[in-house]
Amino acid sequence: MTSYRPTFNNSELLRDAAYVNGQWVKKTDKFFEVTDPANGETIAKLPEQDVAIVDEAIDAAYEAFKTFKNTSGRQRATWLRNLYNLMIENMEDLGKLLSWENGKPLAEGIGEVKYAASFFEWFAEEAPRIYGTAINPGITSNRAFTRREPVGVCGIITPWNFPSAMITRKAAAAIAAGCTVVLKPDSQTPLSALALAYLAEKAGIPAGVFNIVLTHKDTPAFGLKLCESPKVKKVSFTGSTNVGKILMKQSASTLKKLSFELGGNAPLIIFDDADLDKAVEQAIASKFRGLGQTCVCANRLYAHESVIDEFSSRLASHVNKFVIGHGLKDGVTHGPMINPKAIEKVEAHVKDAVEKGAKVVVEGGRRPDLGPAFYAPTVLTRVPQNADVSSQETFGPLCAIIPFSTTEEVVKYANDSDVGLAAYVFTQNVDTVFTVSEALETGMVSVNTGVFSDCTVPFGGVKESGFGREGSLHGLEDYTVIKTTVIGGLPNRL
């Protein structure tokens, strides 16, 4: 296995400590390792902090909130714009760092950094535009109005698959609203988060507003602290449905505000009138982004009986051109899985589907010649609806193509899930666009494109995919509360 250690123009982006109240903090002689998923080499050693650091960070955020909530939207916009500019200035370095700790190809890593930065730009523009409403009460001598106020200290827990973007679309909205943040990044990919803290400091964001705590072994205890603290008024989490349910239970004692983006299992439907070239191109963009390790990637591909064989053949020819390797190597299109254990579920789903009659179009499989976490994509066609992949999220590079005959049948298949984050529809018929998109039980429907996420678009799910929306004009709502003021006893109008 070849060693890849990138060079950085700004080495200050590589941090080796937590960030609390404007200070870089270790306070321990215990450490955990961050490794390159492609070869297992150690990238960094970070402090394995005691759970007490969470209390320190919460206290710092709580004190900072007392003054930060009174800053003007225009001032917060300036800080966020500064942070956006710094991310763009350091885009190549941030992309290298992200690719190094996460494994995704460099071009994809830089793409994520651009996407992540866009949330600071968007919410810089939204911060001065937080409006209330004027209300005409039924009592004519009363007047009423509302204003949106920041909810308070926000606990943010983010996953490894988007180490930068999952942070910015939460933290940008929180800061824009006037909230302060305590962030717990995934211990497999914390370096991108720490680089953001460094840039936040350079952007002028006040001490205590943006805090990062670190742990590997005590992650559940850190989450419990954030959920049970009465000083934390909101928790935002992206991750599995099971963990989301645990955090929701733990937050019940303080009745804090929550927003969760949880499991996906997204259906992608190709109707018989679809543009097959576009459907193949966009299905690949959705299914194999991050090697299928994304919450909105197509997990179940439904192709109409009349086009399934042609669609499968065309898709396979593209997949066979993928170049698998280290994300920092030139020409590589797809990197490793996040760790070797992640491959096990992919293999189990492939085995189950084949045993139930699925046809192998691209065999794929482990690539031990490249490293223990490498798996070349597998494509299966004519997968039966009773295969495990139809009801369970694979979160890996298995493309399972399932046949259908009627619109009613495929909508039933697509909705036969406890989760409902995203769905994809490919058709040239405007009637199908509206009837199917409205019938699908998901928070988002993408028509004739496989990549739809954007800072301007509300992102979130329904059912057990969670609640709340990130990005867009709605992104600030979950970080504010509505205060109503009523003035009574006014004289009759002249």
Gap between the Cα atoms of 394 and 351, Å rounded: 13
Query: Do 422 and 443 touch, CB atoms closer than 8 A?
Result: yes
Gap between the Cα atoms of 228 and 352, Å rounded: 41
Query: Do 254 and 228 touch, CB atoms closer than 8 A?
Result: yes
Which helix (H) or strand (E) is 483 found in, with range? strand 480-487
3-state DSSP assignment of residue 42: strand
The tokens describing 289, both together, are 């982004």
Contacts within 8 Å (CB) and 24+ apart, 6-11:
6/96, 6/97, 6/99, 6/100, 6/328, 8/93, 8/96, 8/97, 9/90, 9/92, 9/93, 10/90, 10/93
Query: Do 493 and 144 touch, CB atoms closer than 8 A?
Result: no
Catalytic choice (108, 121, 201, 261): 261
Query: Do 99 and 327 touch, CB atoms closer than 8 A?
Result: yes
Gap between the Cα atoms of 409 and 177, Å rounded: 44
> Catalytic: 261?
yes
Gap between the Cα atoms of 339 and 38, Å rounded: 8
**Ranges of H-type helices in 103-240:** 106-126, 165-177, 191-203, 219-228
In sequence order, the 6+-apart residues with CB closer than 8 A to the CB of 159 are 166, 186, 238, 239
3-state DSSP assignment of residue 460: coil
Query: Do 468 and 320 touch, CB atoms closer than 8 A?
Result: no
Which helix (H) or strand (E) is 233 found in, with range? strand 232-238
Residues tagged active-site: 261
